[in-house]
């Protein structure tokens, strides 16, 4: 069966700063609020479809997709990572649909009822791609308004973020992300996690 793969640390947007973003970025969106006093000035948003789930990374760096193949960042970087899935117990993912996705705590057991769920976190990184702070999400709603396409120049992934909680901090906003195949296997690396019991 398909595994719900979730990004548990920012997939480091590291490397050169050319302008190739596998289709470019069109209106990446905006986010208000701070986490640990740190805002996220949205400059790019990319996503990848994997096993019917979407992994999304929003950064304050332009050309995120093009940067994924390197090992350094041009400066300190802030990122929001989100994974959304249409879950059917015990461990199946249905295709994404538009609508509200409720928060799912990756540290807990798998949901016992079918539904649309999301998990995520907020991270800051230094110029060597090392995390300087990671805060897991604790609540809120991700509303998918457009499910996206694997064709880079076609349909983008769009979502509204409502009351995303990170402890006592909250983020709100909207995102329009472009498809980025490099997000599957970034050179800079990623820590990938999955809910307990989720198997291939």
Domain ranges across the chain? 6-193
| The predicted structure's pLDDT at residue 182 | 80
For the purposes of burial, counting CB atoms within 10 Å of the CB of 134, is it exposed (0-12), middle (13-18) or buried (19 or more)?
Answer: middle
Look at the pTM and tell me if it is higher than 0.85.
Answer: no
Q: What is the pLDDT along the chain (200 residues), one digit of tens a residue?
A: 234 444 444 443 333 333 333 333 346 999 999 999 999 999 999 999 888 999 999 999 998 887 776 777 788 889 999 999 999 998 899 999 999 999 999 888 888 999 999 999 999 888 777 788 899 999 999 999 999 876 656 679 999 999 999 999 999 999 999 998 888 876 654 433 334 334 33
Are 68 and 20 in contact, with CB atoms under 8 Å apart? Answer: no
Per-residue burial over 139-178, b = 16 or more CB atoms within 10 Å of its CB, e = otherwise: ebbbbbeebbeeeeeeebbbbebeebebeebbbebbbbbb
Please give the backbone phi and psi of residue 181, each rounded to the nearest 5 degrees, phi first.
-60, -30
Rounded Cα–Cα distance for residues 177 and 159 (Å): 9
171: closest CA among 76, 54, 33, 64? 33
| The predicted structure's pLDDT at residue 167 | 95
180: closest CA among 57, 97, 19? 57
């Amino acid at each position: 069966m398909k595994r719900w793969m979730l990004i548990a640390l920012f997939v480091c947007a590291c490397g050169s700063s050319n302008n190739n973003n596998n289709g470019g970025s069109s209106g990446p969106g905006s986010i208000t609020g701070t986490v640990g006093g740190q805002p996220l000035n949205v400059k790019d948003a990319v996503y990848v479809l994997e096993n019917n789930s979407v992994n999304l990374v929003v950064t304050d760096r332009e050309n995120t997709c093009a940067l994924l193949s390197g090992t350094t960042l041009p400066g300190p970087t802030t990122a929001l990572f989100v994974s959304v899935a249409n879950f059917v117990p015990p461990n199946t993912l249905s295709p994404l649909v538009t609508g509200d996705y409720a928060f799912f705590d990756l540290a807990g057991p798998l949901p016992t009822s079918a539904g649309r769920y999301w998990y995520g976190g907020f991270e800051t990184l230094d110029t060597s791609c090392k995390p300087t702070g990671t805060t897991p999400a604790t609540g809120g709603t991700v509303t998918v308004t457009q499910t996206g396409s694997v064709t880079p120049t076609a349909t983008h992934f769009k979502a509204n973020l409502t009351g995303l909680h990170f402890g006592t901090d909250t983020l709100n906003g909207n995102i329009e992300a472009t498809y980025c195949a490099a997000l599957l296997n970034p050179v800079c690396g990623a820590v990938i996690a999955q809910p307990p019991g989720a198997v291939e």
